[in-house]
Amino acid sequence: MAMDLAEHARTTGGALKHWLVAQCQDSLAVGLLWLVGLYLLKVPWAPLWAVLAACFQFVPHIGAVLGVVGPVLAVWLKFGDWERTLYVLCLYAIIVVIDGFFLQPALMRRVAKVPISASILAPIALGIVIPFWGILLAPPLLAVIYAYKAKQTNRAEAG
């Protein structure tokens, strides 16, 4: 039996809502990691940079890079030494690894029911096929695809 338009809208809307919840949780976690790290490094305006990094987190891959520019410039302008600037860059690398390999995949799996392997590999594959848009659209697209897959599995088990 085919799905009607309202059922498609509910399935797609629910999947996108779950993706948005996972993305908000990820952004909050990244912002907290930045805040703690920047406070420990005594970076000027640490709360501002942490909030900006959390907001930039909504832009896949590019957002993380944008999030490090402010703290690096603030450290360089205030202290003028390479050592502290290097510490900020190391903090950035640590946060990117934690987020990319642990936080995002775990949140997508828990909230949006997307397998960890798919949430890591799909943005890479779509980024190759459709360079900018593939990376940007992969996470919400995965959430929708796996919502339909779950719906199909539930129908097969019920029928």
* Cα separation, 51 vs 71, whole angstroms: 12
Across the chain, mean pLDDT equals 90
For the chain, where are the alpha helices, taking DSSP H only?
A: 5-40, 46-56, 62-79, 82-98, 104-111, 116-129, 131-158
pLDDT at 3 over 80: no
Q: What is the largest CA-CA distance in the chain?
A: 68
CA distances to 111, 112, 120, 133, 149 from 12, in Å: 15, 12, 21, 19, 12
Query: Over the stretch 54-111, which tens digit does the pLDDT of each residue have?
Result: 999 988 778 889 999 999 999 999 999 899 999 999 999 999 999 988 998 888 888 7
Q: Is pTM, for the whole model, over 0.85?
A: no
Q: What are the extents of the domains in the chain?
A: 18-158
Tell me which of 153 and 94 has the higher pLDDT. Answer: 94
* Cα separation, 61 vs 53, whole angstroms: 12
